[in-house]
Structure 1
């Protein structure tokens, strides 16, 4: 079934009991056969926000920080989310979530709710992501379901994705490139019309890049073990530009840092994850 607001559908929840919710993850939200980690983080954050607001938090709160541990890799389909409000405060609330499928836990997360930053920062160090063009240039690689990358990264069927080819040596067969990838992504127009959907998508974008290990000739599944994402500000509508980079590719583990910037040049999401080197 097609829809003009696929990401809103992904993060839409149905209440199933006190502190309990269900969601449906369509096959498009996968990498290969398994559900994309950033999508599960977004669903978990959506449930935490709902639980916080129902407990009395300001309806304008957003998930400022999501720290998720990945326990198992679910298949696309229905998932269940349970929530526990650990703190309800005037500025900060904390909700714990557990996302599972068929009785098996997939993701445990701690979500900090609050109001995102607004206005000009007091101090900011320019990041390479802010130097990318606000819109993808003509020579950016368009990732579609027909593209070799799109045949694995099924997300491209529901969001727009463009890759800076100069940072994606794996597309040319390069095995000695730097572990850094730059790209652009954008929601469908109907999804962009909903502010809460935009915020959740920005968090998901903190995990949207292909693994940087591919630039070193290491292909295959690079499972995320732990992912923490910060929503620094609500993004303006339009393209998000981002970089994904690592400074240490170990024998078994590597870190992966996303920095996500909106059309105004504001840093809207920062994330770091610990992942496994592909076998």
Structure 2
């Protein structure tokens, strides 16, 4: 199957109704970091369920998840997950839906999703971010993360989307240390990119796509996210997404990691911040 016909991310966020305010999704093992489900993917699944809930309540189809604030309670395995949605507000401009994602009766994620129509057109004011200075497409010496690459054996979704890492920032790939900031390019399969709603959810997922930036400081291992908030600022244009993940404070136990996602036109489409634990 060609990438034009392939839509693994759309399959991930395909939500099936199982009753009033109840939904189910299937998370393929592709969408894991090591043995556990990738946090950004769970955030996207929660956002998809929230949008289905508010559309069922009569919201306009232009509504998208503008902000998703997720607390990670436990780490589910790939497979079936259940979602429960609670509509808190369905206003003229803003809606709010709470979502619980669980597996086997155990809650894994609690999320609050704010929905509305994203910005369009030029911003009134913007401060240039280093992500926008990256070339629109991956540079010639970018590290292509494939399922056979050492990083791809951990970041499994490298087999379900394109992921190219900027070697000038990913010092850990060459055994070096440097600033806790990593840049990359990512793009869904063509079959996912052409569906606007799927492209939006992929961009939100990209707000958690980087390997922990602690690796650039020689700290490897699982860095569990305890809270992640992502903002959709603009619907992404087709093409490569440029992403920078960075941290300003690596504490003894905790660190923050910010992602900035810029589309092919140079527009900031997603901003995120997470609180995670320093690898042991």
TM range, normalised to the smaller chain?
Answer: over 0.9
**Does 1:117 pair with 2:119?**
yes
Give the SS at the match of 1:9: helix
Q: 5 Å matches for 1:72-151?
A: 72-151=74-153
- Report runs of 4+ in structure 1 exceeding 3 Å deviation: none
Runs of 5+ consecutive residues of structure 2 not aligned to the other structure = none
Render the CA deviation track for 1:19-50: whole Å, top value 9, x for unaligned.
Answer: 11000000000000000000000000000000
Runs of 5+ consecutive residues of structure 1 not aligned to the other structure = none
TM-score (norm 2): 0.98
Aligned-partner Cα distance in 1 for 2:250–2:270? 23
Task: Quote how far apart the aligned CAs of 1:104 are.
Answer: 0.4
Task: Quote how far apart the aligned CAs of 1:56 are.
Answer: 1.6
Task: Quote how far apart the aligned CAs of 1:59 are.
Answer: 1.6
CA RMSD of aligned residues (A): 1.1
Give the SS at the match of 1:98: strand
1:63 is matched with: 65
Give the SS at the match of 1:275: strand
2:214 is matched with: 213
Render the CA deviation track for 1:140-160: whole Å, top value 9, x for unaligned.
Answer: 000001111001000101000
**Does 1:201 pair with 2:198?**
no
Aligned-partner Cα distance in 2 for 1:208–1:221? 14
Give the SS at the match of 2:208: coil
Q: How many residues align?
A: 278
Aligned-partner Cα distance in 1 for 2:16–2:126? 40
Task: Quote how far apart the aligned CAs of 1:239 are.
Answer: 0.4
TM-score (norm 1): 0.98
Task: Quote how far apart the aligned CAs of 1:57 are.
Answer: 1.3
Aligned-partner Cα distance in 2 for 1:234–1:60? 11
Render the CA deviation track for 1:226-259: whole Å, top value 9, x for unaligned.
Answer: 0000000000011000100000000000000000
Task: Quote how far apart the aligned CAs of 1:138 are.
Answer: 0.8
Render the CA deviation track for 1:60-92: whole Å, top value 9, x for unaligned.
Answer: 100000000000000000000000000010100
**Does 1:278 pair with 2:273?**
no
